[in-house]
Structure 1
Amino acid sequence: MRKEFDLQLDSFMLHCDAKHLSKKTLKSYDQTLRLFAKYLDVELGITDASKVKSSHIRLYIRYLRARGKYTVASSDKGLKVNYPDRREDYKKDISDTTIANYTRNIKVFFNFLKGEREIKENPMDTIEKIKPKRRQKQLLTPDELKLLFHSFDLTKFHEYRTWLQCRLILDSGIRAGECCGLKPEDIDFRSKSILVRDTKNGKERYVFFGHKMSTDLRRWLQYKDRFSDSPYIFPTVRGTQLEVNNFKLSVRNAGKSVGLEVFPHLLRNNFAKYYLIEGNGDFVTLSRLLGHSSVEVTQKAYLDFTDKEIGKKYQRHSPLNNLNI
């Protein structure tokens, strides 16, 4: 017999699906809430979301801080398929950012139940909001970027693919998941633009690339077509769509091989910072290129310049440097 929480969760997920939320968001909600439901059932004997109180949620937050990464899965199947104990960060502390994401998802769930009149009050309303410390985004130097790109063996299909994906993210600011889902018909070489269809917020947008990337993309497509008739630009060797996590792992491994900590989102961050610092770009345009919901979101994410970066940007705008006086 199914528990009440399972039915409530199914109803919530149908609601989210009807809103056409991204697959990533749906997966985040589902995973977060199933882990929460498992804790409530096993530790507190609660199987109905309407019985959850603020004190239970505080207990859960304390539990998250103590249990460590990947030590619990929402189902036994996940443990057998994903082998979390083989991960390098297995049992390491769960970050405040992750816990903040968990509590945010839980709050959305209870807001839905309140709207459906299954509960009178949201137990999350009295929970103090977790404000994780923002890590300053590292700006890779040109030499470090060269070191990374020279680490790939371009005679191997998968390394050539990852090399080009990294360069495309750095040149356009596209997300890793968006990059993995690209198809040849999304590219317009005349305008040097790419139509990104499968976006985080569900809204299509254009990103752009330069002359070097245009040449790189043409060469890759010719190379790829000799080995695969896949509908994707960056497929697996079997022609299927490349899993985002596998792509991320390939990038991390390439970085490690030359002593760098690199991941796709860092390259996207570097696109934004180089666009603002070297290219003298503006936040309004950058926000559209990155696919953010507002300029405020972009500013919040990229106003963490180091003193050195601020100094470099200043030199481009020094009054005496730019005025003939």
Structure 2
Amino acid sequence: MQNVNVPLISFLEYLQIEKNYSKYTIVFYQKDIEDFFDFMKEEAISSINEVTHTEARMYLTRLHQKKYARKSVARKTSSLRSFYKFLLREEKVEQNPFTSVSLPKQEKRLPQFLYSEELDKLFAVSDLETPLGQRNQAILELLYATGIRISECCHIQIHDIDFQVGTILVTGKGNKQRYIPFGSFAQDAMKTYLEDGRKTLLDKQKTPNSTKHLFLNFRGGALTPRGVRLILNDMVQQACSTLHISPHMLRHTFATHMLNEGADLRVVQELLGHASLSSTQIYTHVTKEHLQKTYNQFHPRA
């Protein structure tokens, strides 16, 4: 089999430099393409030029046989389509075998969100007398107040916050930045954490590096997305053993509650950092469902 690492490296550099994709997105592309290279080895396909529409269909069949979810199959197909499109542009191949391969239809699942009663239980969990409790409360308040992603939350630095105006500068996918307002609850929680708990956590660093990241772990280093997920999971367990949520549900809850209260769809799109309005429109289905339930519950002739 020919050395496929060279075109792959070139493609990953293209994603990083020209497309400005995040490192996490690039890792997924790399994994998807390397999985296809493993398939090529198994099928004794010696060159990327030998892959035709037939081999592409064979690969999709293999994924279905391995019980991959439709979403995963669609992502892998999209990754390979982009890879071959790049190779075609660079004149490394003569055709894109994934162009005519149809993506599997996605299951349209409505995003789950939390109700006010469930949120109240979460907000009551943290011990605000401890540094970690203050940090956890600040994380929870900020995620619900802004709808930002976990990764965006971890990248926030102190100088990104403007308490006077009540906004925070967030760096999202593709390093695109946007300003998001936050309310008094999030402001109070962050100020308490900054003035007390964060200083205590910062003192625990073995080799002080005066990190500017807002959220720190118990050793005083920058908190990771995995760390935030563990924190939220622990808070959920303390709040209610029967409450099953993912960190992303706070983002869904933010969007749903905003729309339920009459916020404009395009405003919510801007706050969430969605490139396309269609990504935000799924929340309108949630609000319609909410309206229907409310109507059925309270209208005398429903």
TM-score class normalised by the smaller sequence: 0.7 to 0.9
Kindly report which structure 2 residues correspond to 1:1-325, keeping only aligned pairs within 5 A, or say none: 3-19=2-18, 20-41=20-41, 43-67=42-66, 93-154=67-128, 157-158=131-132, 160-197=134-171, 199-222=172-195, 223-228=197-202, 229-257=210-238, 258=240, 259-278=242-261, 280-299=262-281, 301-305=282-286, 308-311=289-292
> Does the CA contact (< 8 Å) of 1:21 and 1:201 recur in 2?
yes
> Does the CA contact (< 8 Å) of 1:137 and 1:304 recur in 2?
no
List gaps (5 residues or longer) in structure 2: 203-209, 297-302
Deviation (angstroms), 1:153: 4.4
Q: TM-score, normalised by structure 1?
A: 0.80
Deviation (angstroms), 1:233: 0.6
Letter in 2 for 1:59: M
CA distance in 1, matches of 2:136, 2:34: 33
List gaps (5 residues or longer) in structure 1: 68-92, 316-325
Letter in 2 for 1:36: F
Q: 1:116 to 1:288 in 2, by over 3 A?
A: same
Letter in 1 for 2:215: F
Q: 1:150 to 1:63 in 2, by over 3 A?
A: farther
Deviation (angstroms), 1:113: 0.7
CA distance in 2, matches of 1:184, 1:6: 40
For residues 55-110 of structure 1, give each alpha carbon's deviation from its aligned partner in whole angstroms, at most 9, with x where no partner exists: 3232322333343xxxxxxxxxxxxxxxxxxxxxxxxx532112211111111111
What is the percentage of aligned positions where both structures have the same residue?
28
Partner of 1:71: none
CA distance in 1, matches of 2:258, 2:184: 16
User: In structure 1, the residue corresponding to 2:211 is in which secondary structure?
Assistant: coil
Letter in 1 for 2:54: S
Q: 1:159 to 1:6 in 2, by over 3 A?
A: farther
User: In structure 1, the residue corresponding to 2:285 is in which secondary structure?
Assistant: coil
> Does the CA contact (< 8 Å) of 1:153 and 1:159 recur in 2?
yes
**Equivalent pairs, count:** 286
CA distance in 1, matches of 2:201, 2:112: 37
User: In structure 2, the residue corresponding to 1:194 is in which secondary structure?
Assistant: strand
Letter in 1 for 2:43: L
CA distance in 2, matches of 1:37, 1:249: 34
Partner of 1:88: none
CA distance in 2, matches of 1:47, 1:310: 57
User: In structure 2, the residue corresponding to 1:123 is in which secondary structure?
Assistant: coil
CA distance in 1, matches of 2:157, 2:140: 17
Quick check: 22-31 or 58-67, which moved more? Answer: 58-67
Quick check: 225-234 or 201-210, which moved more? Answer: 225-234
Q: TM-score, normalised by structure 2?
A: 0.86
Deviation (angstroms), 1:253: 4.0
CA distance in 2, matches of 1:46, 1:156: 59
> Does the CA contact (< 8 Å) of 1:4 and 1:49 recur in 2?
no
Q: 1:35 to 1:154 in 2, by over 3 A?
A: farther
Letter in 2 for 1:206: Y
Q: 1:152 to 1:17 in 2, by over 3 A?
A: same
CA distance in 2, matches of 1:47, 1:151: 58
> Does the CA contact (< 8 Å) of 2:137 and 2:189 recur in 1?
no
Quick check: 11-20 or 157-166, which moved more? Answer: 157-166
